[in-house]
Amino acid sequence: MKKDDRFVKQITPKSADFSKWYLEMIRKAELADYAPMKGMMVIRPYGYAIWENIQRLLDERIKKTGHSNAYFPLFIPESFLQKETEHLKGFSPEVAWVTVGGSEELEERLAVRPTSEAIIGNMYSKWIKSWRDLPVLINQWANIVRWEKVTRPFLRTTEFLWQEGHTAHGTEQEAVDETMMILDLYKEFVETELAIPVVSGKKSEMERFAGASDTYAIEALMSDGKALQMGTSHFLGQHFSEVFNIRYEDKEQNLQYVWQTSWGVSTRLVGALIMSHGDDSGLRLPPNVAPIQVIIVPISIGNWKEDVLPAAKDIERELLQLGLRVKIDDREEFTPGWKFSEWEMRGVPLRIEIGPRDIKNKHVISVRRDTLEKEQIPFSELSERIPLVLQDIQNSLFESALKFQTENTHDVQTYDEFQKIMDSQRGFIKVFWCGEPLCERKIKDETMATIRIVLPEDPHDKKEGHCILCGKDSNKRVLFAKAY
């Protein structure tokens, strides 16, 4: 690659064209690239490193709650999907089918998994026989294929990566408790590690998962005012256990159907990081999931390899001993200024600059990516100061995103006001809704806004009102938004 080809190019401002900015960020920061097959992407090392950090931090939480990882086949017999009509109907437009194996036509088509309830239900029917076998708490990290018509890297692609939990319980209450526990776990994880505030609640009947009794979700507001579903937790009831005959003998020796849940998050969380925190200069990654937390740039002037580089390597060793992810950019073919722009675009949370003058004064210059604020840090204080700065960046990104969400959550009383906000500002719109799918569908058709969640009861909130569309008395508060 020629040197000129690697220089940072101008990035389209977010305010000018958010969609173009988003796609440019993915390509220029080398998070992903388009695959030759329509609707698919190649996740590049820098993007995959973010996913690995997400996976590691979430996997730790999942295992702490008693779940174990397993792996189930990529292919699902068509007959398995046909057993649960509502489930198949919900996914059939997106299912990819395998009809030929080698040179032979298959006797039965195989679906490339769009989700794994069917294959896992079949296996659970073999494994679960007694109350002693319960609960079954299994998670898998896998790839999923859904033949999407409109795709966008990380947000919606034909193939994507995710984790999906599938649990079986002896009682309804245990399954409900599991569903809500995972919902809370997702919320805590996304807010703590990704620094993205979310709202959580139940989906409307029209928006719930095919085959579930209830679907719950965490929803975030991206910086263009559109919502993104970040994760879902489904109470499946006994639908799948009845279909796949997942029964156990209880303590009184009676046969009972198990109660089930399923839940998952995917690589769309990487897209959420871009859209929530990025600015006109590029990415702004939260330190907890950033592939590189600290980039050290030695100022390459004079005899810098003998004078500056050794000091930079000493700092690198010191920070590595703290468990931080640190890198020195000692490339000779680029100027320090070019490197500053490069790492700003890639969203590295903290940059350390060190040159001959800094060595003489026994300090470094640190530059925060979130605010671009500079600070002189003495060599003797690096081990104490750097972790504190990184934590402050993590907190600052969350507070900034929370402020945006609060300022763009609108409590409206009339449908005219609802339509005006959707046409101009977007954001979350909090309204009363009668609960009728007809009203929900009409609002969606006229404004492209959908119910993101039905809000849980709030003792400080107004208890009753009138449906935003039909005017009927209502005690259901919901959040509408245009969504990805």
pTM of the model: 0.94
Contact (CB, 8 A) for 274 and 18: no
Dihedral (C-alpha) 385, 288, 69, 238: value to the nearest 10 degrees? 130
Q: Quick one: pLDDT at residue 9?
A: 54
Residue pointed to by tokens 């959580």: 200
Q: If you compute the radius of gyration of the chain from its CA atoms, what whole number of angstroms results?
A: 25
C-alpha–C-alpha distance, residues 89 and 81, integer Å: 9
Q: Return averaged pLDDT per consecutive 10 residues of the chain, 484 residues in all.
A: 45 92 96 96 98 98 98 95 77 90 96 95 98 98 94 96 98 98 98 98 95 96 97 97 96 97 98 97 97 96 90 97 97 93 97 95 97 97 98 98 98 96 94 97 97 88 89 96 96
Second CATH level (architecture) for the domain 3-277? 2-Layer Sandwich (3.30)
What gap in Å lies between CA 250 and CA 352, rounded to an integer? 62
| Residue boundaries of the structural domains of the chain | 3-277, 294-389, 409-481
Instruction: Look at residue 2 in the predicted model and tell me its pLDDT.
Output: 41
Class of the domain covering 294-389: alpha beta
Place of tokens 């009682």: 171
- Taking CB atoms within 8 Å and a gap of at least 24, the contacts of 111-115 are 111/75, 111/76, 111/77, 111/78, 111/81, 112/74, 112/75, 112/76, 112/145, 113/72, 113/73, 113/74, 113/75, 113/76, 113/142, 113/144, 113/145, 114/144, 114/145, 114/146, 115/91, 115/144, 115/164, 115/262
The pLDDT of residue 46 is 98
Pick the CATH number of 409-481 from 3.30.1360.40, 3.30.110.30, 3.40.50.300, 3.90.1420.10: 3.30.110.30
pLDDT given at position 303:
86
Residue 198 contacts residue 218 (beta carbons within 8 Å): yes
Q: Are 3-277 and 409-481 the same fold in CATH?
A: no
Check residue 474 and give its pLDDT.
Answer: 95
- Nearest residue to 473 via CA among 439, 433, 437, 438: 433
**Strands annotated E in 38-95:** 41-43, 68-69, 75-77
Report the DSSP beta bridge partners of residue 481: 450
Report residue 345 CA to chain centroid gap.
21
